[in-house]
Amino acid sequence: MTLLGDVVRWFADPAHYQGSDAVQTRIYEHLAVSGLAVLAGLVIALPIGLYLGHTGRFGFIAVNVANIGRAIPSLAAIALAIPVAATLVGVQNGLGFWPTFLALIPLAVPPILTNAYVGVRGVDRDVIEAARGMGLSEGGILRRVELPLALPVVLAGIRTAAVNIVATATLGALVAFGGLGRYIVDGLALQEYDRLFAGALLVALLAIAVEVAFGTFERAAVSPGIRVQQRAF
Amino acid sequence: MKRAIRVAIPFIVAAFVASACGGAGTSGGTKPAITIGSTNFSEQLVLGELYSQILESNGYAVTRKFNLGNREIVFPALQSGQIDLEADYLATLLAFIDKTATGSTDPKVTAAALQKALTPKGVTVLDYAPAVDQNGFVVTKATADKYKLVKLSDLAPIGNQLVLGGPAECPNREFCALGLKNKYGITFKDFKALDTGGPLTVQALVGGQIDVGLLFTSDSTIAVRGFVLLEDDKQLQLSDNVAPVVRNDYLSKAGDDFKKVVNSIAPKLTTAELTGMNKLVEVDKKDPKDVAKEWLKKQGLIK
């Protein structure tokens, strides 16, 4: 119970809102790296998933290759990203943002790719045949028929990726990045459990906030006519 | 499902038996099994191996629990009996246990003060070695040239332009950022939590993410990388001689033979010898186990 009091006091301490270790700075860093990683994941996975879903070819292989991203332990990915980042973007960027960013991308790809593929594949074949019969081009079918119908599933994939990444970006603290993981790693090193708990709480709240934000966006973006009862994978 | 459970049972039982054996050990009368712990940097692994192997060659069963974390984790583990022995550093351990204690540059005085602080905790410090490993603040050659840095007091006027990097606990430690502020009047622009005198700190120095890094004075990478070790001109770092600390509970079980075996290392372990072993591990990437073994053999401490 004393821990809870300590955590409340920790949040009340104005010193924790100043300097490079300020709560708002850490939240910003955390959201920035997470957002960019999701964006990178989208750029990589969405076109591939949609295209493969549309053609229906090589989907099995692509989904399984992408799933390797889930199998790699994030802790190992982040450690391995140090030399990769040093080679790709120079030794002055070998620590901090870049390795964290690079290690998070493989985590964003699998849910986005899988859901995009499965969503498009799941569109009723008769609807597509009808669209083709009406003279729509293949690109037009994907854009104007398949994507709107698959949207709930596609968005659910992006949401899963985003929540995963917000929770995992804490590991960036191990490679000298900021973010909310800083409080967890430093709290452990200093045996300051109030700090550790405050960090964990902030990460959890942030993940929930992202989840809720995506849910609201989904409701707004998806056409009411096709709002399906089924939930995400 | 049933089949899976039946298949799993022998494995589970075996795991329990194995862990039970590990816990109890084969306490053979006068030579009780010992658990040796260490903190989380490479020199500590070498030291842990030195004490482990010399005890093993004298018939003690040793369980190694190395790389546990920093002192905030290892010392409570020693007190609570999860480990029986660890190699530590006189002045740093003293400051850790007694925040008000003032160590000395004389290891004899520091060791006596440390024992006084350790007695209520049920821990004894054995013979300290001449080897000293202190916190050292290093900059790259380029930084040293740019600001004309030779000693730590040179940092006082320009500290607010520089970023310090070191272990996460540094800002709260007397021998780290806290002492730099109190004794030298150096406040840095920012602090970056990295690792304890390890590869992240080295890389951050090389990459320029930090300007001043905390490394250990016995770290061979300082010379290999051409870093400049700033002279501690106001003697912030005190006599940090290597010394094994051991639980009294274990000591009373094991007796004088154990003390004699452990203490035989101290006279031979100089700073130069320790730095040499660190280089073999950190730069030449040798296994701490082999490095320790070779050194003990060379010194005639084991056969």
Per-residue pLDDT tens digits for B142-169: 999 999 999 999 999 999 999 999 999 8
What proportion of chain A, given as a percentage, has pLDDT over 90?
64
Per-residue pLDDT tens digits for A59-86: 888 888 888 878 888 889 998 998 899 8
What is the reported pLDDT for B23? 40
Question: Using 50, 70 and 90 to split pLDDT, how confident is the model at B193?
Answer: very high
Residues 169-188, chain A: which have Cβ within 8 Å of B? Answer: 173, 175-176, 182, 185-186, 188
Q: Does A200 touch chain B (CB under 8 A)?
A: no
Output the average pLDDT for chain A.
89
Question: Using 50, 70 and 90 to split pLDDT, how confident is the model at B4?
Answer: low
pLDDT of B281 above 60: yes
What is the reported pLDDT for B15? 53
Average confidence (pLDDT) over B223-239:
90
Average confidence (pLDDT) over A1-13:
88
Residues of A in contact with B173 (CB under 8 A): none
Convert A111-144 to b/e letters by CB count within 10 Å (16 or more is b): bbbbbbbbbbbebeeeebeebeeeebeeeebbee
Residue of B nearest to A79 (CA): B200
Distance CA B135, CA A98 (A): 29
User: How close, in Å, is residue B253 to chain A by CA atoms?
Assistant: 32
What is the reported pLDDT for B100? 83
What proportion of chain B, given as a percentage, has pLDDT over 90?
72
Per-residue pLDDT tens digits for B54-72: 999 999 999 999 999 889 8
What is the reported pLDDT for A104? 94
Contacts of B19 (CB under 8 A, 6+ apart): none
Model pTM?
A: 0.79
Average confidence (pLDDT) over A105-129:
92
Assigned fold of A23-226: MetI-like fold (1.10.3720)
Cβ of B72 within 8 Å of Cβ of A82? The answer is no
Question: Using 50, 70 and 90 to split pLDDT, how confident is the model at B2?
Answer: low
Q: Could you tell me which residue, B41 or B22, shows the higher pLDDT?
A: B41
DSSP B37: E
What is the reported pLDDT for A195? 92
CA distances from B24 to A15, B19, B20, B62, B248 (A): 48, 9, 6, 12, 18
Tell me the one-letter amino acid at B46: V
- Cross-chain CB nearest to B193 (options A82, A91, A182): A182
Cβ of B169 within 8 Å of Cβ of A190? The answer is yes
What is the reported pLDDT for A21? 86
What's the length of chain B?
303
Residue in A78, A92, A83 with CA at minimum distance from that of residue A171:
A78
What proportion of chain B, given as a percentage, has pLDDT over 70?
90
Cβ of B72 within 8 Å of Cβ of A191? The answer is yes
- Cross-chain CB nearest to A189 (options B70, B208, B209): B70
Taking each helix axis as running N to C, give the angle between helix A59-71 and helix A23-55, from 0 to 180 degrees, rounded to the nearest 10: 160
What is the reported pLDDT for A50? 92
B168, A185 Cβ separation under 8 angstroms: yes
Q: What are phi and psi of B148, to 5 degrees?
A: 55, 60
Distance CA A190, CA A185 (A): 9
pLDDT of B7 above 80: no
Cβ of B167 within 8 Å of Cβ of A96? The answer is no
What is the reported pLDDT for B303? 84
Count helices and strands in chain B by DSSP H and E runs: 13, 10
DSSP, residue by residue, B49-60: HHHHHHHHHTT-
Helix (H) or strand (E) holding B296: helix B288-298
User: How close, in Å, is residue B269 to chain A by CA atoms?
Assistant: 29
Q: Any long-range contacts for A26-32 (C-beta under 8 Å, 24+ apart)?
A: A26/A178, A26/A179, A26/A180, A26/A182, A26/A183, A26/A202, A27/A180, A27/A202, A27/A206, A29/A177, A29/A178, A29/A179, A30/A166, A30/A169, A30/A170, A30/A178, A30/A179, A30/A180, A30/A181, A30/A203, A30/A206, A31/A166, A31/A206
Per-residue pLDDT tens digits for B92-139: 999 899 888 877 889 999 999 999 999 999 999 999 999 999 999 999
What is the reported pLDDT for B22? 42
Q: Does A25 touch chain B (CB under 8 A)?
A: no
Question: Using 50, 70 and 90 to split pLDDT, how confident is the model at A93?
Answer: confident
Residues of B in contact with A91 (CB under 8 A): 203, 206-207
Q: Does A86 touch chain B (CB under 8 A)?
A: yes
Per-residue pLDDT tens digits for A168-219: 999 999 998 989 999 999 998 888 899 999 999 999 999 999 999 998 998 8
Question: Using 50, 70 and 90 to split pLDDT, how confident is the model at B24?
Answer: very low
Average confidence (pLDDT) over A97-107:
93
Domain ranges of chain A: 23-226
Q: Beta B228-229 vs B135-139: how paired, if at all?
A: antiparallel
Output the average pLDDT for chain B.
89
What is the reported pLDDT for B121? 94
Average confidence (pLDDT) over B191-208:
91
What is the reported pLDDT for A57? 83
pLDDT of B16 above 90: no
User: How close, in Å, is residue A87 to chain B by CA atoms?
Assistant: 12
* A50: its two tokens: 């949609």
What is the reported pLDDT for B173? 86
Residues 7-26, chain B: which have Cβ within 8 Å of A? Answer: none
For residue B82, how far is the Cα from the chain centroid?
17
Residue in A206, A219, A228 with CA at minimum distance from that of residue A35:
A206
**Residue matched to tokens 């599933």:** A153
pLDDT of A224 above 70: yes
pLDDT of B21 above 50: no
Cβ of B167 within 8 Å of Cβ of A91? The answer is no
Q: Which domains does chain B have, with CATH numbers?
A: 2-132+239-298 (3.40.190.10), 135-229 (3.40.190.120)
What is the reported pLDDT for B3? 59
Cβ of A96 within 8 Å of Cβ of B209? The answer is yes
Residues of B in contact with A82 (CB under 8 A): 203
